[in-house]
Structure formats: structure tokens, C-alpha cells
């Protein structure tokens, strides 16, 4: 296992200071290893996640070579040549476990933003003290965007939140965590080959959820009530003005409808599995409040906004992968993690083999399936060249 930094590197280096997992402690599970603390319904801080992942690496005896960045992977007659500054490695098979969130997915219109505006992404934002004084525009209202809007607003700054397509979820439903419902009802276990529109499922925004000690819902109604200005999707930056789409009403209606449908699914599941007695009565939530008049443009030169945080998603970095397995849209070509090149595998990508694939607890089932395939692949390929030590 080659790691460019340290074990749990992304949690050590690429997350903001106040972040907690949005998955509850009881859901933090890796093969043969789980959260054993006194607060199963709580949410880990970054320090706790680093301890958890590092603890697993020790318990599993994972053969990790830290501070070993892979700079290229090329195909050879026998398999792959993996280059690192510490030496090369020849191997018959490679598993790409380099993460789904290496780069911030910032739209090209960022180039039209005046240079006077400071620009941050979720990978370089740490806390509100880092931002210049004045208003903050946060683009994107999924898990990252709503969490940062909340934090920056609480720090006393004026926040404008640009909202596009989003997934609205309450933190708890009928007395249980919403992720308890996702897991227990089987929604998160749905396999990739059972999903009608897999491309769409793989590009869905993360849900508007935050892990806080209060287990509070963090949706647009909460943020609006707290004073965050909600505007539509950032559609262009022209002549120093940010232009927002006028489609907020539709976006809100769609997100509310999808949430209602999901809650209906949970209700049906509870009824058909005789679980109604284990949970509270069905609940329905206030529809998303559409702002009376959301503004359609903002003068970025007026001094009202001094910084932008791009909370517009993440993507993997395969710049070091010199194997022709990336499609025109920059996505890895794979079937459930079996990449379109012999002996090449991937794990940890959105809906890789199941809806839960991109979460910590999703790794175990995917790994089991892929290891099965990998073992069969290795059994069927010549053994004269095995992985050589660095
Ligand atoms: C802001 C944010 C919040 C999240 N919150 C949650 C949550 O609450 N619960 C949850 O279950 N999941 C959450 N996730 C998803 C989370 O990232 C995954 O669950 C988990 O980290 C995936 O583990 P991984 O090992 O696949 O990827 P990563 O944790 O990204 O690990 C990939 C590793 O590969 C290394 N690497 C990359 N490129 C190279 C290279 N060229 N050479 C050598 N090493 C390399 C990196 O340094 C890194 O250590 C969150 C993700 C983000 C971005």
C-alpha cells in the first residue's frame, strides 16, 4: 500500500477545522473494526477520525509505505510499472484507492471572477478567520456548502448562498437518525447493477447533512432563518457581476418532493417489516421556504462580497495514471470497480458497487467483492512475475 502522506492523510490535510463526520459513530465500521466508544449516536471530529483510521491500520497490520507518492502507473507486458520517488514497483495488479475527492470541482466561470475577490475551496478553507473581512459568497448547497454557510454566518459575516440542485434530508426521522433509515431499510445497500440511471446516481450531490452534538437538521430553512441570503444557481460571471438563475422555486420543489418520496419509502418499509413500533410516528416537514425576492445578480466589484468559497464538489485526480482508462468526461471507465484494463481495480468511488460505496462503512462489502475478482484474476495469470519490493 503506497500512501503519499500519512495514514488517514485526507482527514489530516484536506478538511476544515470544525468538520465532523456526517455519518454517526455506530456507522464508522471497517472490516473487523468498529467504533466502541460511549457515544454511538455522536459524530467524530477530525482528530477522532484520524485516530479511528490509524487504529484500523495498526489492527489490520496494513503494510502501508507512507510518504511514497505514486507519480505514474504504466502498463507493461506482465502488468504495471508503478513509479515513486522511492523507487519503482512492478506488479501484476493495481488497486486505485487514491480517493474520490482529491481535487475541488470548481466551474470554469471562476476565471471571470475579479482578482480582488479571495477564492477558497473546501480543500483549502480551514476556518472563518482565514477569510478577509466582509461578505462571503458560498457557491453550492450540498453537505459542504450548508456546513460552511452555517459556520461562516455564525462567525458574524454576511453570507450569500448560491443554491443549485440539492438533496434535502432531515437529520432525524421518526426518532432515528436518517442514516439509520438509509442503512436499515436497505436503500444504501442498493447495488450499482440494480440502479436504472447509474451515471446520474454517481453524480448526485451529497445530502444536506451535518454531524453536530445537537443532531440538528441543517437545511435551507434553518440557514435562511439564521440570516443567510439564499440565491439561485450561479450561472455566469459577466462584467464583474455574478448572475444567479431564477429557478429557485423549482429547485426547492424538486428537493422537497424527493425528500417526501424517500420518507414514504421508509414508512412503507417500516410497515411491511413490522418496525412501526420501534420508531416514532411518521413526520412531515415544512416545505423549503422560497425567498420572497431572491436577487438575480450581485456586483462583485461593490465591496459587498470579499470572498467566494467554491463548495461545488470534488473529483478524483488521475493525472499520474498513464493507462488509457479515462473517458471523455474525465471519469474512470470501470464496471463496479473492475477497471477497463486487465488487473486494474478501483475502490472508494461514488456508487462504485453500492449506494454506500463512497462512505467509510461502504468499503468493506466492495472490498470483499473486488478481492474475490482480483484473486481469480491473479490465479488465472502467469506467476513468474510477482510484486517486487521497493
Ligand atoms: C468533506 C468531506 C466529508 C466527508 N464526510 C464523510 C462522512 O461523514 N462519513 C463518511 O463515511 N465519509 C465521508 N466522506 C467521504 C470519505 O472521503 C470517504 O468515506 C473515505 O475517506 C474514503 O476513503 P478512501 O481511502 O477511499 O479515500 P481517501 O480518504 O481520500 O484516501 C485516499 C488516500 O490516497 C492517497 N493518495 C492519493 N493520490 C495518491 C498518489 N498518487 N500516491 C500515493 N497516495 C495517494 C491520499 O493521500 C489519501 O490518503 C467525506 C468526504 C469529504 C471530502
Going from the Cα of 102 to the center of ligand 1, the distance in angstroms, rounded, reads 8
Pairing of strands 234-238, 241-244: antiparallel
Q: What is the per-residue pLDDT for 50?
A: 98
Give the residue-averaged pLDDT of 45-74. Answer: 97
Does the beta carbon of 128 lie inside 6 Å of ligand 1? no
In this prediction, residues 307-329 reach a mean pLDDT of: 97
Mean pLDDT of 121-125: 97
CA 96 – CA 87 distance, rounded (Å): 19
User: Atom of ligand 1 at shortest distance to CA of 9?
Assistant: 49
Which atom of ligand 1 is found nearest the CA of 98? Answer: 34
Ranges assigned E (strand) in 101-185 = 103-104, 118-121, 135-139, 159-162, 167-168, 172-173, 176-177
User: Cell triple for residue 201?
Assistant: 446516481
- Given the C-alpha cell 480543500, which residue does it identify? 123
Q: What share of the chain is helix, strand, coil (3-state, %, to 5)?
A: 30, 20, 50
User: How far is 122 from 127, CA to CA, in rounded Å?
Assistant: 10
| Residue 381 clears pLDDT 80, i.e. is over it | no
pLDDT of residue 29: 96
By alpha-carbon position, which residue is closest to atom 27 of ligand 1? 99
CA–CA gap between residue 269 and residue 188 (Å, rounded): 14
Residue range 264-302, pLDDT digits in tens? 999 999 999 999 999 999 999 999 999 988 999 999 999
Position 169 pLDDT exceeds 60: yes
Which residue's CA is the nearest one to ligand 1's atom 21?
Answer: 360
pTM: predicted TM-score of the whole model, two decimal places: 0.95
**Which pairing describes strands 80-84 and 87-91: parallel, antiparallel, or unpaired?**
antiparallel
179 lines ligand 1 (CB under 6 A): no
pLDDT at 167 over 70: yes
The residue whose CA is least distant from atom 15 of ligand 1 is 359
Percentage, residues of the chain above pLDDT 90: 96
Question: What is the maximum span of the chain, computed from C-alpha positions, in angstroms?
Answer: 71
Radius of gyration for the chain, computed over Cα atoms and rounded to the nearest angstrom: 22
Q: What is the mean pLDDT of the chain?
A: 95
In short, whether 3's Cβ falls inside 6 Å of ligand 1 is yes
Nearest CA to ligand 1 atom 3: 21
* Residue minimizing CA distance to atom 28 of ligand 1: 99
For residues 338 and 374, give the distance between their C-alpha atoms in angstroms, rounded to a whole number: 9
Average pLDDT for 354-368: 96
C-alpha cell at 234: 450561479
For residue 362, pLDDT beyond 50: yes
Distance, in Å, from the CA atom of 173 to the CA atom of 285, rounded to the nearest integer, reads 10
Whether 385 shows a pLDDT value over 80: the answer reads no
pLDDT at 292: 86
If pLDDT is split at 50, 70 and 90, which confidence band does 233 have? very high
Confidence (pLDDT) at 293: 86
How far apart (Å, rounded) are the C-alpha atoms in residues 96 and 326?
A: 13
Q: Is the dihedral angle over the CA atoms 12, 178, 122, 346 positive or is it negative? A: positive
Residue 190, classed as helix, strand or coil, is coil
pLDDT at 361: 96
Q: Alpha-carbon distance 62 to 153, whole Å?
A: 42
Cα gap 390→66, rounded to integer Å? 12
Judged against a pLDDT cut of 90, whether residue 181 lies above it is answered with yes
Residues paired with residue 89 on neighbouring β-strands, in sequence order: 82
Does 389 have pLDDT greater than 60? Answer: no
Question: If you average pLDDT over residues 71-99, what whole number do you get?
Answer: 97
Give the pLDDT of residue 387. Answer: 44
Tell me, what's the pLDDT at 341?
97
Amino acid at each position: 500500500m503506497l500512501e503519499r502522506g500519512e495514514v488517514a492523510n485526507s482527514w489530516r490535510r484536506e478538511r476544515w477545522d470544525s468538520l465532523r463526520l456526517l455519518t454517526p459513530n455506530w456507522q464508522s465500521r471497517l472490516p473487523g473494526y468498529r467504533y466502541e466508544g460511549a457515544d454511538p449516536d455522536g459524530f467524530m471530529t477530525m482528530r477522532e477520525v484520524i485516530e479511528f483510521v490509524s487504529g484500523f491500520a495498526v489492527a489490520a497490520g496494513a503494510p502501508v509505505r507512507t510518504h511514497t507518492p505514486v507519480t505514474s502507473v504504466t502498463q507493461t507486458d506482465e502488468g504495471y510499472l508503478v513509479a515513486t520517488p522511492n523507487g519503482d514497483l512492478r506488479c501484476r495488479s493495481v488497486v486505485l484507492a487514491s480517493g474520490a475527492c482529491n481535487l475541488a470541482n470548481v466551474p470554469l466561470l471562476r476565471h471571470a471572477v475579479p482578482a480582488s475577490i479571495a477564492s477558497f475551496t473546501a480543500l483549502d478553507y480551514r476556518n472563518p478567520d482565514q477569510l478577509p473581512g466582509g461578505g462571503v459568497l458560498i457557491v453550492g448547497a450540498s453537505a459542504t456548502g450548508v456546513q460552511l454557510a452555517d459556520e461562516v454566518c455564525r462567525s458574524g459575516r454576511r453570507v450569500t448562498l448560491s443554491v443549485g440542485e440539492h438533496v434535502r434530508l432531515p437529520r432525524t426521522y421518526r426518532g432515528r437518525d436518517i442514516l439509520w433509515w438509509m442503512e436499515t431499510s436497505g436503500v444504501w445497500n442498493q447495488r450499482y447493477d440494480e440502479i436504472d440511471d447509474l451515471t446520474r446516481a454517481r453524480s448526485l450531490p451529497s445530502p444536506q447533512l451535518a454531524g453536530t452534538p445537537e443532531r440538528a437538521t441543517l437545511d435551507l430553512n434553518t440557514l435562511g432563518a439564521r440570516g443567510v441570503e439564499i440565491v439561485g444557481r450561479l450561472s455566469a460571471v459577466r462584467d464583474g457581476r455574478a448572475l444567479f438563475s431564477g429557478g429557485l422555486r423549482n429547485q426547492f420543489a424538486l428537493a422537497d418532493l424527493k425528500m417526501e418520496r424517500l420518507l414514504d419509502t421508509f414508512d412503507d418499509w417500516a410497515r411491511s417489516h413490522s418496525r412501526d413500533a420501534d420508531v416514532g410516528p411518521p413526520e412531515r416537514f415544512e416545505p423549503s421556504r422560497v425567498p420572497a425576492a431572491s436577487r438575480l445578480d450581485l456586483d462583485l466589484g461593490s465591496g459587498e462580497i470579499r470572498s467566494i468559497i467554491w463548495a461545488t464538489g470534488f473529483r478524483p485526480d488521475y493525472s499520474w495514471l498513464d493507462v488509457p482508462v479515462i473517458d471523455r468526461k474525465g471519469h474512470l471507465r470501470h464496471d463496479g470497480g473492475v477497471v477497463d484494463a486487465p488487473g486494474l481495480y478501483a475502490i472508494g468511488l461514488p456508487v462504485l458497487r453500492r449506494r454506500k460505496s463512497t462512505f467509510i462503512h461502504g468499503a468493506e462489502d466492495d472490498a470483499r467483492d473486488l478481492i474475490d475478482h482480483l484473486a481469480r484474476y491473479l490465479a488465472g495469470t502467469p506467476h513468474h512475475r510477482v510484486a517486487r519490493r521497493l
